Amino acid sequence: MTTTPLTDTWLIQDVLRPEGLTWMSGPIGEAKSLLTLDVACHVASGRNWHGQPVDGCRVLHVTGVELGTIQQRLRAWKQHYGVGAIDDLLISAQYVKVESPYWDMFVQSCRKLELDLIILDGPMWAWEWEWDKRNGVNKSDPMAKTLNGLDALAQTTGATVLLAADGLRDFTGPELAMSTSGDVVSMRPMDRIGAAPFRFKMTDVAIGKDARGLSITSQILTPAK
C-alpha cells in the first residue's frame, strides 16, 4: 500500500480538509460518481490519492447509483489496486432528503457509526433547486433548510460532509470543481487558483465473465497523462 505522511491537517493533502460541509460541482454524467467512489476507497483504505497523502479514516458513501452498478465499480477499483476488503468503507444506495421525516434518524445513525467522512453523491440533492431556478420559483427557504440540515449532519457526527451534485455552481462557489473534455475528467480545488488540475480518464476493468463466458467490465478513474 502506498502511503506518505501528511504535512498538515487534511483528509487528502491539498484537496479535502476535515472540516464541516464541502462541495463538489460538475456536469451531469457518470464522472462525479466515479470520482466520489475513488475518493471514498482511497480515504477508507488509507492509500495515497493519486500522489496526494491521505489520512485514512471511516467513510460512508451514499450514492445515487444503482447498488449493483456501484458494487461492480467497487470490485473493479479493488481489483485494479490489488486491495481486499476495505473495513472502513460503508456504502448505501438509499438516500434520505433533508426534508424527509427520516432525516433526523439518518443523522443519528451516522453519529453512532463514528464516521470521519460522509459523501453524499447524486443529483437528488440539487436537481429540485435547479428546476425551480429555471422556472422562476424562489428556493431561498428550501435551500437554506437543506444547507442547515447538511451543516447539522456535519456538526452532529463530527464528520466532513462532501456533497457532490449537479447544479450547485449557481448557488454557491464549490470548493471542488469538475469539468470534462472528451474522455478526460478534471478536478481542481477552488482555492488552488493557477494550480494544475487533477486529470483522470475513464478506464475499463474486466471483473469476470457472465453465464455465456462473455467478459463483464466496469469503470474506474485512473490518472490521465
Which one, of 185, 210, 184, lies nearest residue 24 by Cα?
185
Residues 6 or more apart whose CB falls under 8 angstroms from that of 181 comprise: none
> Cα 206 from chain centroid?
23
- The pLDDT score that the predictor gives to residue 93 is 87
Which one, of 186, 224, 192, lies nearest residue 13 by Cα?
192
- The pLDDT score that the predictor gives to residue 193 is 66
- The pLDDT score that the predictor gives to residue 141 is 59
pLDDT along the chain (225 residues), means of 10: 62 89 77 92 96 95 91 96 96 85 94 96 56 50 74 94 71 69 82 79 92 92 89
- The pLDDT score that the predictor gives to residue 99 is 81
CA distance 141 to 153: 18
- The pLDDT score that the predictor gives to residue 13 is 92
Domains and CATH numbers, the chain: 21-223 (3.40.50.300)
- The pLDDT score that the predictor gives to residue 205 is 96
CA distance 121 to 97: 12
Confidence (pTM) = 0.86
